[in-house]
Structure 1
Amino acid sequence: MIGICAQFTIQAGKNAEFEALLTEFVTTVKAKEPGATVYQLCKSAKAENDYFMLELYADQAALDAHGKTEHMAALVAKIGGFLAAPPKLTQGPAVF
C-alpha cells in the first residue's frame, strides 16, 4: 500500500466553494477507484484555511491510474483558483 498526505492552504473566503469542489471529487474517487482504499478530505483544527487529503492506494498501479483519471484532470484545472500556496505532498509506503 502507498500513502499520501496532500496539504492545501486556500485563499480566505473560499472555504465553502473549495469544500464543495473536493466533496464532489472525493465522492467520484470513492465510486470509481477501487484501488483508492482511503480517500478523505480533512480540515485543520488550527488554521481555518488549511486542509489535508489522506490517501491510501492498494498499489502503485492504483496510484498511477488515479493520476490519469478525467476527474483528476478536471480537479487540477479548477483547484488553482482556490490555492493560496502550492500544495505540499508527502508520499511513502504503508508500514503495516
Structure 2
Amino acid sequence: MAMMDVRDRIEQAPACEVIRLTDPEKAIYTGAGWRLASFERGVLVGLFYPVDVERAGSDRETATRALDAAVAWAARQDGDTWLYSV
C-alpha cells in the first residue's frame, strides 16, 4: 500500500484549513479544539489533548505543565506530528 502524505489531505474548511480524516481516523478524533496529531505512514494513530493535563496552581504553571507533557508525548511518536484543530 502506498504511503499517504498528510499534506495532500489538507483542505479549506469554512473557518480554516483542516486535514481530511478517513472514517477509521474519525473514531480516534472526537470533539473540537487543538490537538497534537501523530501520523504514521500518513495515517492518524494518536492524539495529545493539552486540556487533559491536570491544572496546576496558576495558569502559567498549567501552561508549562501542558507544554512539557506535549513535548514528551511528541518525542515518543514514530511518525509525523502535526498541530491540528477542528
With structure 2 as the length reference, what TM-score do the two structures score? 0.30
Q: Identify which of structures 1 and 2 has the higher relative contact order when contacts are C-alpha pairs closer than 8 Å and 6+ apart.
A: 1
Q: Which structure has the larger Rg?
A: 2
With structure 1 as the length reference, what TM-score do the two structures score? 0.28
